[in-house]
A and B are shown apart, each in its own frame.
Chain A
Amino acid sequence: MYDIIVIGAGPAGITAAIYAKRAGANVLVLYNGESNVEKTDKIENYYGFKDGIDGQTLFKNGVEQAKNLEVVVRKEEVLGIEKIDNVFYIETTLKKYDSKAVIIATGNKNLKPDVKGISEFEGKGISYCAICDGFFYREKNVAVIGNGAFANKEVEHLKNIANSVTILTNGNQIKDKITEGLNVNSKPIKQIQGENKVQRVEFEDGSGLDIDGIFIAIGEASGLDFAKRLGIAVKNDFIIVDENMQTNISGLYACGNVTGGLLQICKATYEGAKAGISAVKFIK
């Protein structure tokens, strides 16, 4: 068992890992998606780089720095977090890890697709958690909006309950292996329609699909996706933390862009340091 698992390898996640490791913890960092830093051409406002630095180099240096301290860093997509009897279980596309504490530093990916009707029907047929809400759709026709392993995890749960499950990729390519024999519809979605609840998906080409419920699992799971499934308190699509980066779940911390505020590296590293120190205090 690891002491601490950090999800995300951007400035917040790596700083958290470095502080925790230097305080004597056994740390694993899991990441897959591109960090916002990696996508930044040139960073010219970060302390100490008088000529600026390109994002890719800064990201790579961070990961190397953590590895030099013997932090284990693995490029694996995280599909879900569970907490049972004070142990966290982190499922990736390859295996399941366990730890005493978890730090979420996944950045601020959009949780929702930009489709009319999604926000309007939240709780009225739009769901973010198949395990929580699947049973309301027994023998009904449901869809999962997504295109990868994360969406497939939701499908695997729903296929035993619902009458039919369709993957809606919303114009995106399927990225990973998905359940065989599944209905896949790749058309871009125009809007979700219904009277008081979800009843139909209308596509850009004018065609439609009658549906009773839609589960959202776009791309790779982000901090907000974990929050919806685990019950982490969220406000305005950002995870709520206290001054020690502690969420409402004991042993679970969040830092960096996922907590909102100033979306800057200096803020991410401060929060990463705080989360790393707090997580170490927690496990001791």
Chain B
Amino acid sequence: MSVINLNRENFESEVVKSNQTVIVDFYATWCAPCRMMSPIIDAIAEELNGTIKVGKVDCDENQELAISYSVMSIPTIIIFKEGKVAKQFVGVTDKTELMEAIK
């Protein structure tokens, strides 16, 4: 399943009002650790193909959205369950740990 580009306009409908588990990667293009995180998120999207939603928020373009979820450090990964924050990870986090948290 493809990774959704999340922003102010679609965050509510894609994440907050979603009944599915959603994993969201808050990143910025210039951030070196974010570039290491990105393929891990892509791999999760591939592996869980459609069973959960996977999205990314470019914090440079959506700073207010990031701050509204208290994101002050990137990469931050938030797992939403029924639209609510279930778990949050700061910094490069390995796939096994994220997969465990998604369950």
Contacts and interface: CB of A to CB of B under 8 A. Distances in A.
A and B: interacting chains = yes
A240 interface: yes
Interface residues of B, number: 25
Given A230-B33, A231-B34, A135 B72 contact: no
Contact of B90 (A123, A213, A249): A123
Given A132-B28, A231-B92, A127 B60 contact: no
A132 B73 contact: yes
* Interface size, A (range): 20 to 34
- Is the contact region of chain A dominated by helix, strand, or loop, or is it mixed? mixed
A231 B63 CA distance: 21
Interface string A246-278: 001100000000000000000000000000000
A231 B73 contact: no
A129 B67 contact: no
B64 to A, nearest CB: 11
B32 A136 contact: no
A154 to B, nearest CB: 14
Interface of A: 82-83, 122-129, 131-133, 135-136, 196-197, 213, 228-235, 240, 248-249
22 contacts: A122-B73, A122-B90, A123-B71, A123-B73, A123-B90, A126-B73, A127-B73, A128-B91, A131-B30, A131-B32, A132-B28, A132-B74, A133-B73, A135-B63, A136-B71, A136-B73, A197-B72, A230-B36, A234-B91, A235-B94, A240-B94, A249-B36
